[in-house]
Chain A
Amino acid sequence: MTAAQAEELLRNGLSCRAENDTFAQFQVGDCVRARVMHPQTYTRLPRYVRGKVGIIVKDRGVYVFPDTVGQRLDTKPQHVYSVQFAAQELWGTNAPANDTLFIDLFDDHLEAV
C-alpha cells in the first residue's frame, strides 16, 4: 500500500455492504432465535446469544458474510438485523427487568421462532 492509497483508505473506508439486494428472511417485529451452533471456524455469532430469543428491530441492509469471507469462501451476501434481547432472556431473572441488549445478526445466524 502506498501513502496515497493509505490516505484514501482512511478517508473513504472499506464498505462491507453488498451491491445486490437479496431476500430478507425476517421482518421488523419478528421473533427470532439465534441459532445454536458451534463452528470450528470464524463466526460473528457470539456464544452468549446462541439459543436465545429476541426481536428484529431494524433491517440494516445487505452485507457480505464474515463467517465465510473470513475463510476466504463465498461472500454470501445477506441481510443484517439489529436484534434486541431482554437482559433476562440472556442472563436470567437476576438481570434488571427493563435492560436490553442489541446485536447485529445475519440471516444465517437466525431462525424463526
Chain B
Amino acid sequence: MSSHHQAESDIALRVKAIELLLVEKGIIDPATLDTIIDAYEHKIGPHNGARIVARAWIDPEFKHRLLADGTSAIAEMKLTGFSSEHMVVVENTPNIHNLIVCTLCSCYPWAILGLPPTWYKSFAYRSRAVIDPRGVLQEFGLEIPEQVEVRVWDSNADLRYLVLPERPPGTEKMTEDKLAGLVTRNAMIGTAKVQSPAAPID
C-alpha cells in the first residue's frame, strides 16, 4: 500500500531493517519469504472457507461428514494446511449461534480463512468475546434473540474452528460457486450472518 510519496512508517522500516539483517546473516532465505507471502496474498484466504460452506449447503452428505469430522471432510477438498491441521466445524441453526475466539493468543484456521483480522487478535475481542459475547456481537451489528443459545468456542489448544453459517433465504437456486460468493470471513468466525443476495436470482 505504500507509495513513493509517502514516508514509510516506523514499523515498516524496522521490519525492513530486521529482514535485511536476517537475510545478510543467512538466517532466512528471501525465496522462502516470497513463497509464504505469495501464498497468503494470492492462494490462501476466506474464499477457501467459503467453498467449504457452500459445499455443505448443497451437499447434505458432505455437511454430515464435515460436522462429524471437520479435518477429514476438509481434506477431501484439499483445503487443509498450516494452522488448520485439526478442524472442528460448528453449525449455526435458528436455535444456536456460534462464536470463535482464542483468548490466549490468536489461534485461527489460517489455511481456511487466511490470516486473522486485527480485531480478532485484539485484547478487547479476546477478553470480551467470552464474558459478553452478546455485547460483542451487538457491536458487530448482530442482535441475537434471547431464546437463541450463544456458544463461544475458545481455540486455546490445537484445534481450529470454523462456523458453518445458516444458508440465507432466497438462495435455493444458486450454484455452489455463487453461494460461496455470499459467504464472508466474519460469518465463518461467527461475528456476522450470511446475507441474502440483494437482487433476486434468475
Contacting pair A10 B156 (CB below 8 A): no
- B59 part of interface (Cβ distance < 8 Å): no
CA distance A65 to B79 in the complex (A): 26
Given contacts A10-B36, A46-B103, whether A17 and B152 have CB atoms under 8 Å apart is no
CB nearest to B134 among chain A residues? A96
Is A12 at the interface (CB under 8 A from chain B)?
yes
Does B44 make an interface contact (CB < 8 A)?
A: yes
Question: Could you tell me the dominant secondary structure of chain A's interface residues?
Answer: mixed
Say whether B85 faces chain A, with CB atoms less than 8 Å apart. yes
Interface residues on A, range: 35 or more
Q: Would B32 and A13 count as touching, CB distance under 8 A?
A: no
Partner-A contacts on B (CB < 8 A): 28-29, 31-32, 34-36, 39, 44, 80-86, 88, 103-104, 111, 130-131, 133-134, 146-147, 149-159
> Separation in Å of the A58 CB from the closest CB of chain B?
9
Determine if A90 and B154 form an interchain contact, defined as CB atoms under 8 angstroms apart. no
Beyond A60-B159, A96-B134, A104-B159, is A13–B85 a contact (Cβ under 8 Å)?
A: yes
B44 contact set on A, CB distance < 8 A: 10
Partner among A1, A12, A91, A101 whose Cβ is within 8 Å of the Cβ of B151: A101
State the Cβ distance, A63 to closest chain B Cβ, in Å. 5
